[in-house]
Amino acid sequence: MKAFTLDRYGKDADLRLGDVADPLVQDNDVLIEIHTAGVNQLDNKIRDGEFKPILPYRPPFVLGHDVAGTIVQVGANVTRFSVGDAVYARPRDGRIGTFAEKIAVDQADLAIAPRSLTMEEAASIPLVGLTAWQALVEIAKLKKGQKIFIQAGSGGVGTFAIQLAKYLGAVVATTTSAANIELVQALGADVVIDYRTQDFEQILSGYDVVLHSQDNEMLRKSIGILKPGGIAISISGPPDPAFARSRKLNPLIGLVLRLASSGIRRAARRAGVRYAFLFMSANGDQLANISALIDAGAVRATLDKVFPFTQTNEALAYVHKGRAKGKVVIKIR
């Protein structure tokens, strides 16, 4: 099959289009003929080598973390899906590779794709949808009437998280550029801050939750807008000791992460709030819940641009610029 392979780590390195062996289908796997694949900043960061300490993939390997497609084969133990099902997934770490014509995915990571979405739209959902779900529902346990600040509201995670937070009944504040104010308002944002001309730290206070996706300076400012007992959930770091334990990382890496996050954890303790780092994980059951929300009209896909398969490197470069409104996908079939 055709696939885009990373031959060596390197900043802005191009992936190579070529032939690779078809995936091996294990007993709990389904083989998916890929129609579309989502593109994420995570793909760029892995390619650049930023995640080697915690995701030690050995080149050459195929990148890609979002998939929508059709099942063409099922393993011996698969009971939840059948050949011909239209599905979507964020394959688990260690088994990524959606920039290809096919992929084998564990059935536990999989869900039936929302029937109301096209394949292009479906491929835009898994990673950002699961990130928002795990942050807002699993960690924050966001409740009706609570206030949440979602940074970068026009980005992939932001566009989904705003909608999910509104569905949960929260008051939502977000940052974006002036050009995207109408977009985030249409998604449900109650308070919109133009990050180029306004300082959210001077506008917001007494918030219950922050979903952080930017740099450490913004994280420190975000802690300041939380009320006592609130929580700052970061998807951009720094990773904390709890993450190291959950990943069973070696003690040296665990120590490095403990030191790297010590300053922000101290700042959170002084403010009487909590800090949590989230590196989302594959979860088919949560994706099924997300499918139900989408098909009920509570959440919609926000798609910026569709690239042809041959322009996968161009799609990665476009996402790397950080200007996409919602998600970017690659059309493979």
CATH number assigned to the domain comprising residue 142? 3.40.50.720
CATH of the domain at 36: 3.90.180.10
196/306 same-domain check: no
**Would you state the pLDDT for residue 247?**
87
182/231 same-domain check: yes
Burial of 1-36, coded b for 16+ CB within 10 Å and e otherwise, reads eebbbbeeeeeebebeeeebeebebeebbbbbebbb
170: tokens are 């929260």
What size, in residues, is the chain?
A: 333
Which of these, 332, 330, 333, lies nearest to 124 by C-alpha position? 330
CA–CA separation, 98 and 104 (whole Å): 10
| Verdict on whether the full-model pTM lies above 0.95 | yes
151/98 same-domain check: no
**Would you state the pLDDT for residue 304?**
98
321/224 same-domain check: no
25/162 same-domain check: no
In a domain, 284, yes or no: no
313/225 same-domain check: no
In a domain, 148, yes or no: yes
pLDDT in tens, 311-322: 999 999 999 999
82/194 same-domain check: no
211/323 same-domain check: no
Measured distance between the N- and C-terminal CA atoms of the chain, rounded to whole angstroms: 12
**Would you state the pLDDT for residue 193?**
98
In a domain, 81, yes or no: yes
Q: Examine residue 53 and say whether the peptide bond preceding it is cis (omega within 30 degrees of 0).
A: no
In a domain, 294, yes or no: no
How many CA atoms are closer than 13 Å to the CA of 209, on its beta-carbon side?
Answer: 26
267/134 same-domain check: yes
In a domain, 285, yes or no: no
- Name residue 301's amino acid: A
Inter-residue contact 274 to 231 (CB < 8 Å): yes
56/113 same-domain check: yes
Number of domains the chain is built from: 2
**Sequential pLDDT tens for the chain (333 residues):** 999 999 999 998 999 999 999 999 999 999 999 999 999 999 999 999 999 988 989 999 999 999 999 999 999 999 999 999 999 999 999 999 999 999 999 999 999 999 999 999 999 999 999 999 999 999 999 999 999 999 999 999 999 999 999 999 999 999 999 999 999 999 999 999 999 999 999 999 999 999 999 999 999 999 999 999 999 999 999 999 999 898 888 898 899 899 999 999 999 999 999 999 999 999 999 999 999 999 999 999 999 999 999 999 999 999 999 989 999 999 999
11/137 same-domain check: no
Strand pairing of 86-89 and 110-112? antiparallel
Q: At 106, phi and psi to the nearest 5?
A: -65, 135
In a domain, 236, yes or no: yes
Q: At 268, phi and psi to the nearest 5?
A: -65, -45
Inter-residue contact 264 to 238 (CB < 8 Å): yes
Sign of CA dihedral 107, 108, 113, 115: positive
118/131 same-domain check: no
What is the domain range of residue 142?
127-277
In a domain, 74, yes or no: yes
In a domain, 290, yes or no: no
- Name residue 112's amino acid: I
